[in-house]
């Protein structure tokens, strides 16, 4: 809590300035509590906070309204199936949040929880059942999976029309080809782009650096930025001049999975920083014994950036909002094709 309060105080000045210049859609995403803080109380932070929690809430409301409108004619609500393998606490939390979000927007959720030692064949059988179920518009298998299971084989088995996580190779491949639209775009990178859009950030013509090259975040984020006409460089563990590349970027997406790796002096003054990382670091003063930090050293970067996402409360909530949006898209396509 103290950490969050500190963050909000540091960001008050930047947000006040940001709000004056921001489009209406951005204004509504900046927390009122932060804006009401007197400027004098703020530390010398420059960046405006991109409030992913609020933007995700707005998107959930938009989806709920659309579901209400559509389901009468369609005769059913959108359906999302969530498959959980094992008992990782973080995965259990995310799956619970996904089911709660489904209930909030009026989706029907289906769930299968499998033991840690389930066979790959059994998991593939569950996926096949959901592939065939007409009430299911989207299927996701919560990652990571236990080591004895071939993750890619499971992701490949999800029907392309129900791959709301967007992890199917054909969906990722289509992103890389001009003129080909993927059936679904994976949720976290899609959420990053939505944060930029709803914060009034122009992407076309800008330079962008993506730190991290994972199949599920770094690579699709770079492709989405490029498709939006940014000039993109990917930075990874073998990039010799990572800092230099990031320092040249107008937009930085950090998705390397290393706590606070991107330092403040890597950031070009005025750049927009989207931090995908969610890393737990020990903190005896925190209630849970740890606190969450991103892949960006937040306070340092916020002192030079023009806009930045916090962790928590930035990209994370958008992942689930985009999952709902993808499921709704799948539902609309399936209903239209009946």
Ligand X SMILES: Nc1nc2c(c(=O)[nH]1)N[C@@H](CN(C=O)c1ccc(C(=O)N[C@@H](CCC(=O)O)C(=O)O)cc1)CN2
**Residues forming the active site:** 98, 142, 165
6 by DSSP, 3-state: which? helix
Cβ neighbours around 269 below 10 Å, total: 10
- CA atoms of 75 and 329, how far apart (whole Å): 16
Of 116 and 265, nearer to ligand X (C-beta) is 116
The tokens for 117 are 């030692």
Of 161 and 243, nearer to ligand X (C-beta) is 161
Element (DSSP H or E) covering residue 84: strand 79-85
Residues 171 and 160: beta-carbon distance below 8 Å: yes
Shortest CB 234 distance to ligand X, Å: 20
The contact set with ligand X (CB under 6 A) reads: 94, 140-143, 165, 187-188, 278, 292, 311-313, 316-317, 319-320
Q: H-type helices in 89-234, by residue range?
A: 89-105, 120-132, 151-157, 169-176, 187-198, 218-227
154 by DSSP, 3-state: which? helix
Of 15 and 319, nearer to ligand X (C-beta) is 319
- Give me the residue whose beta carbon is nearest to ligand X: 316
The tokens for 239 are 């990039």
Q: Are strands 79-85 and 231-235 parallel, antiparallel or unpaired?
A: unpaired
Q: Are strands 307-308 and 272-275 parallel, antiparallel or unpaired?
A: parallel
Of 225 and 255, nearer to ligand X (C-beta) is 255
Shortest CB 317 distance to ligand X, Å: 5
């Amino acid at each position: 809590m103290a950490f969050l309060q500190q963050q909000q105080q540091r960001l008050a000045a930047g947000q006040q300035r940001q709000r004056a210049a921001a489009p209406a859609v951005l204004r509504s995403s900046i927390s009122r509590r932060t804006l009401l803080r007197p400027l004098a109380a703020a530390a010398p932070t420059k960046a405006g906070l991109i409030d992913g929690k609020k933007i995700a809430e707005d998107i959930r409301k938009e989806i709920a309204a659309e579901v209400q409108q559509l389901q009468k004619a369609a005769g059913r609500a959108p359906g999302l199936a969530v498959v959980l393998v094992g008992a990782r606490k973080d995965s259990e939390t995310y799956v619970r949040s996904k089911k709660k979000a489904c209930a909030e927007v009026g989706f029907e959720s289906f769930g299968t929880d499998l033991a840690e030692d389930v066979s790959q064949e059994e998991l593939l059988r569950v996926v096949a059942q959901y592939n065939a179920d007409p009430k299911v518009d989207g299927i996701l298998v919560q990652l990571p999976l236990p080591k004895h299971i071939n993750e890619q084989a499971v992701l490949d088995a999800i029907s392309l029309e129900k791959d709301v996580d967007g992890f199917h190779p054909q969906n990722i491949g289509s992103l890389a080809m001009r003129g080909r639209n993927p059936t679904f775009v994976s949720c976290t990178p899609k959420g990053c782009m939505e944060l930029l859009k709803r914060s009034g950030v122009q992407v076309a013509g800008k330079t962008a650096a993506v730190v991290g090259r994972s199949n599920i975040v770094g690579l699709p984020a770079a492709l989405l930025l490029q498709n939006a006409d940014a000039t993109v460089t990917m930075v990874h563990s073998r990039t010799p001049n990572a800092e230099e590349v990031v320092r040249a970027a107008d937009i930085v997406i950090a998705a390397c999975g290393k706590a606070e790796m991107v330092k403040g002096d890597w950031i070009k003054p005025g750049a927009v920083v989207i931090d995908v990382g969610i890393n737990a670091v020990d903190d005896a003063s925190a209630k849970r014994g740890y606190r969450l930090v991103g892949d960006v050293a937040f306070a340092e970067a916020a002192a030079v950036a023009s806009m930045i996402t916090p962790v928590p409360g930035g990209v994370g909530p958008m992942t689930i909002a985009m999952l709902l949006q993808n499921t709704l898209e799948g539902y609309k396509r399936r209903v239209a094709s009946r």
